[in-house]
Amino acid sequence: MTSRERVTASLNHEQPDRTPYCMGFTQDARAAMVEYCGGEDFLALIDNDICGVAAGPGPKDMWVDETTHQDEFGVQWDRSVDKDIGVVCNRLLPERDLSGLEFPDPNGPEKFGDFDAHIAGCREAGRYISYSIGFSLFERAWTLRGMDQLFVDMIEAPEFVHELLDRICDYNVTLVAQAVEFNIDMVHFGDDWGSQRGLMMGPELWTEFLLPRLRRQYAAGKDAGKFVSIHSCGHVQEIFPQLIDAGLDCFNPFQPEVMDPYEMKATFGDRLSFYGGISTQQLLPYGTPDEVRRDVRRLISEVGTDGGYIAAPAHSIPGDAKPENIMAMIETLNDQ
pLDDT at 149: 98
Return the bridge partners of 76, or none. Answer: 70
- In angstroms, the CA 214 to CA 272 distance is 16
Measured at the CA of 143, the angle between CA 142 and CA 144, to 5 degrees, comes to 85
Are 278 and 295 in contact, with CB atoms under 8 Å apart?
yes
Rounded to the nearest 10 degrees, the angle between the axes of helix 147-156 and helix 158-179 is: 120
pLDDT at 308: 98
- In angstroms, the CA 218 to CA 13 distance is 19
For the domain that residue 142 is a member of, what is the CATH number?
A: 3.20.20.210
- In angstroms, the CA 137 to CA 150 distance is 12
ω into 104 cis (within 30 of 0): no
- In angstroms, the CA 233 to CA 278 distance is 13
pLDDT at 31: 98
- In angstroms, the CA 264 to CA 277 distance is 11
Cα distances (Å, whole numbers) of residue 35 to 32, 38, 41, 245, 321:
5, 5, 11, 46, 13
* pLDDT (tens place) for every residue of the chain, 336 residues total: 999 999 999 999 999 999 999 999 999 999 999 999 999 999 999 999 999 999 999 999 999 999 999 999 999 999 999 999 999 999 999 999 999 999 999 999 999 999 999 899 999 999 999 999 999 999 999 999 999 999 999 999 999 999 999 999 999 999 999 999 999 999 999 999 999 999 999 999 999 999 999 999 999 999 999 999 999 999 999 999 999 999 999 999 999 999 999 999 999 999 999 999 999 999 999 999 999 999 999 999 999 999 999 999 999 999 999 999 999 999 999 999
**Side-chain-side CA neighbours of residue 86 (13 Å):** 18
- In angstroms, the CA 7 to CA 285 distance is 28
Q: Domain range spanning residue 153?
A: 3-334
Are 3 and 20 in contact, with CB atoms under 8 Å apart?
yes
Question: Cα 122 to chain center, whole Å?
Answer: 18
pLDDT at 292: 98
- In angstroms, the CA 165 to CA 135 distance is 12
Helices (H), ranges, the chain? 3-11, 27-37, 109-112, 115-124, 138-145, 147-156, 158-179, 202-205, 211-222, 240-245, 261-268, 283-286, 289-298, 323-334
- In angstroms, the CA 139 to CA 145 distance is 10
- 3-state secondary structure string, 232-295? CCCCCHHHHHHHHHCCCCEEECCCCCCCCHHHHHHHHCCCCEEEEEECCCCHHHHCCHHHHHHH
If one counts the domains in the chain, the total is: 1
Sorted by sequence, the CB contacts under 8 Å of residue 14 that are 6+ apart come out as 306, 307
pLDDT at 120: 95
